[in-house]
């Protein structure tokens, strides 16, 4: 498996052995519509002729691209922006600088220095994660090198986009397989600032449009009541129409209030 240099909230890396066997490998085109840390497209790029990786966070998408196509210069720039482990004041200067003038290298530097390496934005899309007393180290360089080496043979077939998902479509929908890993409405992920009930409703329409067009999709989500929320209408509607695969993932391990957690991680597929 190819790991990515991001400790990304909601990363599917650990679930790949359960998810990837269910993918549709009969199609030549693959779209990873909510790429995040990229663990999914990175591990199936070898199996498709064309890959599209999309995420709404432009600096994150550009970071993927820079790592794959301009690794040494980009990594050197990020390293020079990272503050050392004791330099909280320097971290705040970097964070203010990012929020005033956003660049991919500043975002990646913040991700490497912040708490648990987990990026977080407020509703105005300002980066607001606290200082994590961590920085660019040998393990960061190793992860970058392994990610780039793993994708070296396939990177030229990967196209990157940064759009809200509803603006992404395939030129050849019948020949395309989509993997959809949207923010889970019941989670507290830092990128939930970008998500809303109306987008979830649009995502249901998007899934139905794929199905009507003869394409295939697999969507990750949580079925059942989770934390203090009821089941998401997206999951309720999709499970009425399509096939559901239970994925073994214990949310209690990471939950603050273990009694609230009852949801079941699922993969819903239209084939």
Ligand X SMILES: C[S@@+](CC[C@H](N)C(=O)[O-])C[C@H]1O[C@@H](n2cnc3c(N)ncnc32)[C@H](O)[C@@H]1O
- Per-residue mark of binding to ligand X, 198-227 (x: CB under 6 A): -x----------------------------
Binding segment toward ligand X, per CB under 6 A, in 33-41, 88-96, 101-109, 240-248? 33-41
Rounded CA separation 118/116 (Å): 5
Q: How many CA atoms lie within 13 A of 246 on its CB side?
A: 5
> Whose CA is closest to 164, among 43, 39, 54?
54
Q: Which of residues 148-207 bind ligand X (CB under 6 A)?
A: 164-165, 181-183, 191, 194-195, 199
Binding residue count for ligand X, defined by CB under 6 A: 21
Rounded CA separation 239/103 (Å): 40
Q: How many C-beta atoms surround the C-beta of residue 270 within 10 A?
A: 18
H or E element that contains 50: strand 50-54
Comparison of 131 and 195: residue with beta carbon closer to ligand X: 195
Closest approach, Cβ 155 to ligand X, in A, equals 18
Contacting residue, 27, 31, 37, 62, with ligand X by CB under 6 A: 37
Comparison of 199 and 268: residue with beta carbon closer to ligand X: 199
> Whose CA is closest to 47, among 143, 146, 158, 145?
158
Binding segment toward ligand X, per CB under 6 A, in 4-12, 92-100, 247-255, 261-269? 4-12
- Nearest-CB residue for ligand X: 36
SS3 content of the chain, % helix, strand, coil (to 5): 45, 15, 40
CA distances from 32 to 27, 42, 80, 159, 205 (A): 14, 10, 31, 10, 17
Contacting residue, 44, 51, 52, 56, with ligand X by CB under 6 A: 56
Comparison of 24 and 133: residue with beta carbon closer to ligand X: 24
Q: Which of residues 57-96 bind ligand X (CB under 6 A)?
A: 57
Note whether 40 binds ligand X by CB under 6 A: yes
Q: Tokens in use for 6? A: 């991001």
Closest approach, Cβ 127 to ligand X, in A, equals 13
In the complex, which residues of this chain contact ligand X (CB under 6 A)?
8, 10-12, 34, 36-37, 39-40, 55-57, 164-165, 181-183, 191, 194-195, 199
């Amino acid at each position: 498996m190819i790991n990515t240099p991001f400790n990304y909230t909601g990363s599917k890396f650990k679930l790949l052995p359960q998810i990837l066997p269910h993918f549709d490998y009969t199609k030549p085109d693959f779209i990873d519509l909510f790429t995040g840390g990229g663990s999914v497209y990175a591990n199936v790029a070898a199996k498709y002729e064309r890959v599209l990786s999309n995420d709404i966070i432009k600096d994150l998408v550009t970071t993927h691209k820079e790592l794959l196509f301009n690794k040494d210069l980009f990594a050197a720039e990020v390293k020079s922006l990272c503050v050392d482990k004791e330099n909280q004041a320097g971290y705040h200067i970097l964070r203010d600088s990012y929020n005033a003038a956003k660049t991919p290298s500043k975002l990646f530097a913040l991700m490497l220095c912040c708490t648990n390496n987990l990026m977080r934005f407020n509703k105005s899309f300002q980066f607001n994660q606290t200082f994590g007393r961590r920085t660019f180290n040998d393990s960061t360089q190793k992860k970058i090198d392994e990610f780039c080496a793993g994708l070296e043979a396939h990177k030229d077939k990967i196209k990157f986009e940064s759009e809200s998902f509803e603006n992404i479509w395939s030129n050849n929908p019948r020949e395309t397989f989509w993997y959809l890993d949207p923010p889970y409405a019941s989670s507290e992920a830092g990128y939930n600032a970008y998500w809303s009930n109306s987008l979830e409703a649009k995502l249901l329409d998007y899934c139905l449009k794929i199905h009507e067009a003869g394409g295939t999709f697999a969507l990750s989500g949580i079925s059942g009541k989770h934390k203090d929320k009821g089941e998401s209408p997206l999951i309720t509607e999709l499970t009425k129409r399509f096939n559901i695969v239970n994925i073994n993932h214990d949310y209690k391990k990471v939950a603050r209030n273990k009694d609230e957690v009852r949801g079941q991680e699922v993969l819903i597929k239209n084939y």
